[in-house]
Structure 1
Amino acid sequence: MDNNQISIIDQAKRIIVDRISNPLYIPDSLIGYETEFKTICEKLNDAIIKKKSVSCLVSGPRSCGKSILIRYCLSKYNKEDYTAVEFSAVTHFNDNLAFKEIAKALNIKIERGESIFDTIEEIKKALGFITNDDGITSVVKRQKVIPVIVIINELDEIIKNGAKQNLLYSILDLSHYKSTPISFIGTSAHHEILDLFEKRIKSRFTQEMILIPKLSFNNIVNIMISLLSIPSKFGDKFGEKWNKSLTTAFVDKNVTTLLCKNYYHLFTRVPYYHNLILDILDLIDENNLFITSDIILSIFKNKVDPIATMLYTLTPLEYTILGCLSKIPNSQDEYISFSNLYDGEYKRYSESYFKTADQAKKTTTIQIIQKLISLGIIQAQSKNELGEFIKIKISISLDSIKNCASNNKSLPSALVKYITEWLQ
């Protein structure tokens, strides 16, 4: 193989790696979520074409593709026809940072050290709002109206702190002025978030909820093919051959069977498949120019059990909570109440001979359950207004929990004995 071919392989890999590592990636075509795409576009038509102020929430599990879906919908409109402001409640952890991000998107220069009130006033002026000395706001008609769309990801992080709902109130308050239509789109991992809104926000919010469903296995396969594809005209006919071999590999029955068993059974969110993509690319070299079923099957053969990998990352306290939930009868088949876990089995364990530490606080236990949910180890039905999970159940086999505990040297021996004895 000459240096030119090696360079082509490296360039093909770089295209794919850049694609999956780009936090603002927008796919060329939408796979799955067709109904949700239509619903969001209807909202955007009102906001961008009809210049109305709209608001909606997009709800679904973390990393299911909510933000990508919104960006994909926006990509169908001319960028000159709207101004989009997107930020995460995780990184913009206070109102002033958030409003400065909005000001930046609107090309408003904010001097260092300006207060949040000054920032808001500058934004209002740019949008055509003028406040007199008596505090009365009036609207100035503008010759050209460009709709503004504010997108806040991880809205849950704002709702956790009641004081931070001032940001939502201020944005929704601006949306009621007619000079410049301001629309709001929020994403959340919990559809119960509407119940946690303050009354002043509920009164100004249309409460339109768009639920993101679980991707089908065929969706996941097609997304994998899309992420691993390269332009067909890349490297003369190299891109065409690459894509053809890739598609053939992912329709192979053995590949789809193991992909479903080892991955889809556990993970239905696309980011979980990025490591698999990187593993595939690692095996592409001068001896293996294209992705084949044999390459993918070799990864499945040598790959460590993904469930075991997740369980080994748990701390002793996290494993304790999982173990206590496992001991409750039918916790794998039926949803168990949080009180049954915390005030029942976990409390009994904390008072038993096997205990390795005192019972953790309820808030700490809720945080641990949230992590186990995000890993796909347990499932939750819903939460109440206090943030407590009302019903939960285990998503993985009890044997996996027992086997990992037996081989995990980082767990206290008393905890291992407790788990393995009653799971036998």
Structure 2
Amino acid sequence: MSKRKLKESTLSVGDCVSKAQTILRERYCHQKLPEKPFGVESQYKHLLELLRRTAVHGESNSVLIVGPRGAGKTMLLKCVLRELLEVKQVKENVLLVHLNGLLQTDDRVALKDITRQLHLENVVGDKVFGSFAENLAFLLEALKKGDRSSSRPVLFTLDEFDLFAQHKNQTLLYNLLDISQSAQTPVAVVGLTCRLDVLELLEKRVKSRFSHRQIHLLSSFGFSQYKEIFAQQLSLPEDFPDKSFAEEWNENIQSLCEDKTVEDVLKKYFHSSKDIRSLHMLLILTLSRVTVSNPAIRAADLLETSRLCTADSKANILHGLSILELCLIIAMKHLSDIYDGEPFNFQMVHNEFKKFIQRKAHSILNFEKPVVIKAFEHLQQLELIKPMDGPSVKNQREYQLVKLMVDNSQIMDALQKYPQCPTDVKQWAASAFG
């Protein structure tokens, strides 16, 4: 019996890899909530207490969750709602309305969505209302219980809260906050925004009805915690069908965390953005490199994936240029160095290019001037150079001032990766001046 059980719990390598990828992709793509929110414990308690007072005691509230993108505002709210709705009585009684400033672009659309989410389309029917306030009041009145003595609490969450402040007369915000101040219907209004000056956007009448409660989120965790999140996001759960594969996988992830190459990649991500979603993008691409022949994540996989994620688009364009176009870019680089970043024109670039050809006697690079002009115009189309004034007059195009839009490191990187690049061209680029 025990042998049969052991057989059932041991999967083939292909099945294990497939199962691991399914579990981890679901974790990243569906933004699976953590068991407990990290780094925001005090904010979590504060918000939970506010919403519990509305859901259980019928006390109206309004609050703003403010923080930069990726700080965990939505995660915090979802974790609070998850705990709140675990109580059966609350789940059966509380109504949720989710609005987003990017979707509900005006008050009419927002009201229509509120009606849909409260399942009151049949109640409203073809009724005509004199004002927005009258319509909203009717909807909330319709939510009262059978004896019409008490109303069901409604939690309104307004994502991209600052965009609702751009609606005409801020009617939606005014009415929601006005209701949250009155004792008629238990309503909680939770706004999520990344703008610190959001209160300055509100009209005086709207601001006076807001409770001025704000919960600020900052990505306050350090690099050691970021590494823990990385390990946690890549680890397989305890209930994975093949225990031995899961143990090996998790041990490998722990050893990855101690690898110097992996640490450098994570530091680069940590210092550019603490947004966990950007980490998820890195992990999804790394996970796609796991196969039957390579059933574990290696440091090289993570390094290669990070290069793909942080690839410089302009450096990639440089890799596809012809030798002539690359030489013109190098000539511009020297002109920028000589004239301390001042703009230059085609004639100056052409003279610089001719000096290089005469010095190195390059017959293969000895192009006619019209050909060089065409190459110069192509660089302008690719937006590697930018004209300093309006569209050029045809007979004056050689003297129109332009500016180079790539820096020295991008040019040197492109030359290193350029296939069969002449040594003289590389040396010319590396020299201090042309």
Of 273, 279, 292 in structure 1, the residue corresponding to residue 279 of structure 2 is: 273
Q: Show the 5 A alignment for 1:22-421.
A: 22=30, 25-78=32-85, 79-109=91-121, 117=132, 119-128=135-144, 140-142=148-150, 145-159=151-165, 161-163=166-168, 165-216=170-221, 217-237=223-243, 238-260=245-267, 262-300=268-306, 303-304=307-308, 306=310, 308-309=312-313, 409-414=382-387, 415-417=402-404
Q: 1:6 aligns with which of 9, 14, 34?
A: 14
Give the TM-score normalised by structure 2: 0.64
Residue 297 to residue 149, structure 1, CA distance change in 2 (3 Å): same
Q: CA-to-partner distance for each residue in 1:93-121, whole Å, 9 max, x for gaps?
A: 12222223323332322568776747525
What is the alpha-carbon distance in structure 2 between the residues aligned to residue 30 and residue 58 of structure 1? 15
Aligned length: 318
1:340 counterpart residue number: none
| Cα distance in 1, alignment partners of residues 128 and 248 from structure 2 | 58
CA contact (8 A) 1:100 1:119 kept: no
For residues 185-220 of structure 1, give each alpha carbon's deviation from its aligned partner in whole angstroms, at most 9, with x where no partner exists. 101111111111111111110111111112432333
CA deviation vs aligned residue, 1:256-280 (integer Å, no higher than 9, x gap): 23310x2112111112222211221
Q: What is the DSSP-based 3-state SS (H/G/I as helix, E as strand, rest coil) of the residue aligned with 1:259?
A: helix
Q: Distance in 1 between matches of 2:287 and 2:56?
A: 43
Letter in 2 for 1:93: T
1:226 to 1:29, Cα distance in 2 relative to 1, 3 A: farther
Uncovered stretches (5+) of structure 2, i.e. residues with no partner: 1-9, 86-90, 318-340, 346-378, 388-401, 409-431
Alpha-carbon distance change, 201 to 272 in structure 1, aligned in 2, over 3 angstroms: same
The percent identity for this pair of structures is: 25
Contact 1:31 1:222 in 2 (8 A): no
Alignment deviations for residues 47-106 of structure 1 (CA, whole Å, 9 cap, x no partner): 223321111111111232211111111111133352222221101112222223323332
Give 3-state SS (helix, strand or coil) of 2:190's partner.
strand
Q: Greater shift after overlay, 197-206 or 209-218?
A: 209-218
TM-fit CA distance, 1:250: 2.3
TM-score (norm 1): 0.65
Question: How far is 1:233 from its partner?
Answer: 1.6
After the TM superposition, which of the residue ranges 102-111 and 176-185 deviates more from structure 2? 102-111
1:312 Cα deviation after fit: 8.1
Q: Bigger radius of gyration, 1 or 2? A: 2
Q: What SS does the aligned partner of 2:84 have?
A: coil
C-alpha distance in 2, partners of 1:18/1:53? 36
Flag structure 1 segments of 5+ consecutive residues without an equivalent: 130-138, 314-348, 356-405
Counterpart in the other structure of 1:317: none
Q: Within 1, Cα distance between the matches of 2:407 and 2:20?
A: 48
Aligned-partner Cα distance in 2 for 1:407–1:244: 52
Residue type of the alignment partner of 1:155 = F
Find the counterpart in structure 1 of residue 353 from structure 2. none
**One-letter amino acid of the structure 2 residue matched with residue 275 of structure 1:** M
Distance 1:4 1:308 in 2: 40
The answer to whether the Cα contact below 8 Å between 2:344 and 2:403 also exists between their aligned partners in 1 is no
Matched, 1:18 2:34: no
Question: Distance between the aligned counterparts of 2:152 and 2:22, measured in 1?
Answer: 37
C-alpha distance in 1 between matches for 2:179 and 2:82: 25
Return the structure number with greater helix share: 2
